[in-house]
Every structure is written in structure tokens, then in C-alpha cells.
Amino acid sequence: MATLKLAIGNKNYSSWSMRPWLALRANDIPFVETVIPLYTDNPADKQQILSFSRAGKVPVLVDGETTVWDSLAIIEYIAERYPEKKLWPDDAAARAHARSVCAEMHSGFVALRSECGMNLHRPVRAVALSTDAKANVARIEEIWRECRARYGANGPFLFGRFGAADAMYAPVVHRFRTYAIDVAPDTKAYMDTMMALPAFQEWTREGIAETLVIAKFEDA
């Protein structure tokens, strides 16, 4: 069986890379990672990304002759490749709910992303959020609260056990923490659950240990 290969960006900054990496690591699925520095002036870095995918972006998953790019597409592939890991809920209605909140994360919350970029090096401190970013925060809290209310009896994550939805929202946990965003107690409880996850802690340690600084992400 071919070994999975995952090309990712800087762990300090690359929220999209974190998502499939966490889906793999938290479920004990073996893979070989390649970290490619992003936003450098080195043509070799860009060429290395292109060697994985002509889309020119990370993350990229390579499984033998199969190449999958885009975080959510990779998570879907992992779920099909390893059905026993149950990245999606067994129940059809719960599965549809999980896919919906993942898709909402994938395509939405632009204001929060732009105003609160993932940066594990950043000292914890608040910023003034726009009205749109505040609305994003409120919607994310609503999503988490509803998922926990419906499926919390099955475990401490959004749909009980750790799954695709948790992987997709994992970078938001860092954003809420790093930018000292005021959240409700139940939101904080879910954040604590995620931050206690060994795979989440591993990514965080390795991101903090990185020395590459991207100036344009250090202004906030």
C-alpha cells in the first residue's frame, strides 16, 4: 500500500494546511509530510508546490497515482479511503449537517479570516473587529452550540467523536484564542476540548517552533 504524502505550508500561518493534517494525525493515519515555505521569494519553493499540483497551492495529498488538492476535498478523500475512522457521522441527517457546516466554513467567514489571520507566534491580544467579523464570530458560535446540543451526548466534539467538522474549524480555535475574542462559556469549553487534542497540540508546538516570519502577516 502506497504511503500517503501531504504537502503543507508553514504551520504557523497555513490554516488550510492544518485542516487535512489534523484529520490524518488525530485519526492515526500514517502519512509523510512535506512543509513548503509560503510567500517567499525563492522560486524553488513555488516550483516545489507545482511539483505536487499544478494548482500551485497547498495542501496537496498524494496517494500513489491519485492527487487531491483543496482542504475539504482531501478530507472527503480521507473519509472514503478510511471509512473505519468515521470522519463523517453514520446517521444521514447528522452527516448532511456536518457537510453543511464544513462547506460554510470552506466558503464563508471572509471578514474574520482577513482581520484575524492565523499566526501562532502572535502574542495574545485583542483587535477591533468590523461588524462583519463580529457577525462571523456569532455565526460560528451558533454553529458550534447547535452541533454540541444535538450531538454532544456522543462525545465532546462537534458531532460527538472527532471528525471532519472539527478539522475544518480547528484554525478558528486558534483565531479566537490569539485575538482574545470574547466568546460564550460553551464556546470556550469546545475550544478547550480542541486545544487538549494531542494532534492539535503537536501542530501548535511545531508552528510556534518555526522561525520563518512573513512580514505581511505580522501587522495585525
- pLDDT 10s digits, 157-201: 999 999 999 999 999 999 999 999 999 999 999 999 999 999 999
Q: Residues 27-40: what's their mean pLDDT?
A: 91
Contact of 20 with 33, CB cutoff 8 Å: no
Whole-prediction pTM: 0.94
Q: Indicate whether 220 pLDDT > 60.
A: no
Burial 89-117 (b: 16+ CB within 10 A, else e): beeeebbebbbebbeebbeebebbbebbb
Taking a C-beta distance cutoff of 8 angstroms, is the pair 93, 38 a contact?
no
What is the pLDDT at residue 1?
52
pLDDT 10s digits, 91-103: 999 999 999 999 9
**pLDDT confidence tier of residue 40, bands split at 50, 70 and 90:** confident
Give phi and psi for 7, each to the nearest 5. -95, 130
Element (H, E) at 159: none
Predicted local confidence at residue 203, as pLDDT: 98
Residue 14: strand, helix, or coil: coil
What integer is the mean pLDDT of 62-79?
96
What is the four-CA torsion angle of 155, 75, 36, 172, rounded to 10 degrees? -50
What residue type is 12 in one-letter code?
N
Distance CA(101)–CA(105), nearest Å, equals 6
